[in-house]
Amino acid sequence: MEKKLLIEEGKISLGIELGSTRIKAVLIDKKGTPLASGSYEWENQYINGIWTYSLEEVWKGIQECYQDLLKDVREKYDTVIKKMDSIGFSAMMHGYLVFDKNDNLLVPFRTWRNTITEEAASKLTEEFHYNIPQRWSIAHLYQAILNKEEHVKNISFITTLSGYVHYKLTGSKALGVGDASGMFPIDIKTGDFDENMISKFDNLVSSEGFSWKLRDIFPNVMTAGRQAGKLTEEGAAMLDTSGNLEAGIFLCPPEGDAGTGMTATNSVAERTGNVSAGTSVFAMIVLEKELTKVYPQIDLVTTPDGALVAMVHCNNCTSDLNAWVNIFDEFSQSIGAQIDKNRLFSVLYNKALEGDADCGGLVSYNYFSGEPVTGFDEGAPLFVRKAEDKFNLANFMRAHLYSSLAALKAGLDLLFKEEAVVVDEMFGHGGLFKTKGVGQRIAAAAMNTPVSVMETAGEGGAWGIALLASYMSNKEEGESLGDYLGQKIFEGDHGSKMEPYAEDVAGFDKFMQRYMAGLSIEHAAVDSL
């Protein structure tokens, strides 16, 4: 009854995150406790050489996800949602969404997954003396300019997926600083796009004669806690097709999945970090100081409140692992032994822990798509062994678990070994950590750092953006995001912590030597297939 009353009085916050395979909604109270949730499954499409999602599918997904949430609310509390304290949207970072002055989409949405901007990313990295990854919006924009694409002259607005959804619902061209830091470099001192680099870019393209300057077409950058617009009448109707939701609700700055991952794991303070492992994998560490040089494998982004973060992002994580589990699932069905999918994952993951620490010589490459961290524009999943290697189920599964984090480890080793970055604890979240104690142990070995998994981490980024919405509407004067999370949301919740096993760390290092030495095999597979 108490929860029902909170919902009816609107003392709730909603977070919706558009992930790569699922759109999820989470409704919370002021303490951050999840009250209800909804979801919608979707997949990117590969059309004319571009990984994309249609905007029709974006809105269908958001609307069906919200209706699924309402169904959960109806079943649990026998009521409907009419008002809320706050709403927040987050989505996959980066990519390229460009519109003309009439809000028409100029080219299909180019997602983070595309590795088609190598020339632009390389030239901008050199020009800015700052690593510009291929995924970043500015790399996509400059590549379109280098390609002499006709649409560029008509650009009126460029944003990310979360920024687009937020704009359509509020009319406000705003973006949270964390998401903005995946579009273009941020000046940590101002909490805004770096003016010096904006000038450099405008000069770089001045001969093209565009009617716009970069500032004209960029969204406004906002840090966590600020009000970033109100839900319009049209926005309320777009979000809630049943027509019950009232307009006028404040929205927090839209964020990227990196920022919501930091929020959902309480890792926004210095010397904390988190690793999100699902379809793709990224690890983020909040830095105490700037890095000494530019590394192409390391992105510099920010927390939702603007602190500097080193991020290693890899395009591939669990897709190949899941494909192999599906093969075992197909086999079990073929012999009439139907096994629950969660149990199958649990059995196979736990079997991996019985394997040799170095996987017995087996090597796997999980490259469904390109992997810039190790220098691949496209990939081909690959499993390799020598005849004398110890080929058994435990080593086979362990090799695929190691492979899911191997490219990430290659990037993180630069931070830990070259830059002497110190991190006290990493928080794990995402599908890899669902099977208790397995992904966590493998991640601790990869990073040689304690890894904690919280009960709430399963709620993921949708919960993270709901917390950012709640922070906006419930924070006290001058209360930082870190204090709000630490004292009001996560107080006493440190999760289950696992220290790295010395033999695992040594075994993973041995696996990595073979993995890095064998990259030429992967190159051959890509070239030959």
Give the DSSP per-residue string, 444-495. HHHHTS-EEE-GGGGGHHHHHHHHHHHHHHHPPTT--HHHHIIIIISTT---
pLDDT at position 470, please? 98
Cβ atoms < 10 Å from Cβ of 59 = 15
| pLDDT in the model for residue 494 | 65
Considering the domain architecture, whether residues 119 and 217 belong to the same structural domain is answered as yes
Averaged pLDDT of the chain: 95
Cα-Cα-Cα-Cα torsion 420, 423, 429, 432, nearest 10 degrees, comes to 50
Structural domain boundaries, residue 489: 266-315+411-498
* Boundary-marking domain end, from 256, 279, 302: 256
Domain assignment present for 94: yes
pLDDT at 244: 97
Identify whether residues 447 and 491 lie together within a single domain.
yes
Q: pLDDT tier at 1 (50, 70, 90 boundaries)?
A: confident
CA–CA separation, 235 and 86 (whole Å)? 14
pLDDT digit string (tens) for 2-60?
A: 999 999 999 999 999 999 999 999 999 999 999 999 999 999 999 999 999 999 999 99
Q: Which of 119-123, 384-388, 448-452 has the weakest average pLDDT?
A: 448-452
> Do 46 and 190 sit in the same domain of this protein?
yes
Q: Do 8 and 113 reside in the same domain of the chain?
A: yes
Reply yes or no on whether the pLDDT at 324 is more than 60: yes
CATH number at residue 109: 3.30.420.40
Domain assignment of residue 261, yes or no? no
Residues 131 and 236 in one domain: yes
pLDDT tens, 467-511?
Answer: 999 999 999 999 999 999 989 998 876 678 999 999 999 999 999
Q: Are residues 363 and 333 in the same domain?
A: yes
- Ramachandran region, residue 92 (left: φ > 0; alpha: ψ -120 to 50; beta: rest): beta
Q: What is the mean pLDDT of residues 244-252?
A: 98
Same domain for 12 and 153, yes or no, is yes
Query: pLDDT band for position 208 (50/70/90)?
Result: very high
310 within a domain of the structure (yes/no): yes
Please tell me whether residue 230 adopts helix, strand or coil conformation.
strand
At residue 442, the pLDDT reads 97
More confident residue, 504 or 115: 504
Same domain for 156 and 140, yes or no, is: yes
Q: Is the pLDDT of residue 456 over 70?
A: no
Total domains in the fold of the chain = 3
Please indicate, yes or no, if residue 33 is contained in any of the structural domains.
yes
Query: Which residues contact residue 249 at a Cβ distance below 8 angstroms, ignoring those fewer than 6 apart?
Result: 83, 84, 85, 86, 87, 230, 231, 236
Which tens digits make up the pLDDT trace of 73-110?
999 999 999 999 999 999 999 999 999 999 999 999 99
Average pLDDT over residues 359-386: 95
Pair (132, 213) in one structural domain: yes
In the chain, what percentage of residues exceed pLDDT 70? 98
Tell me the mean pLDDT in the region 243-272: 94
Assess if residue 476 is contained within a domain.
Answer: yes
What are the backbone angles phi and psi of residue 226, rounded to the nearest 5°?
-85, 150
pLDDT at residue 458, as a whole number: 56
**Shared-domain flag, residues 71 and 147:** yes
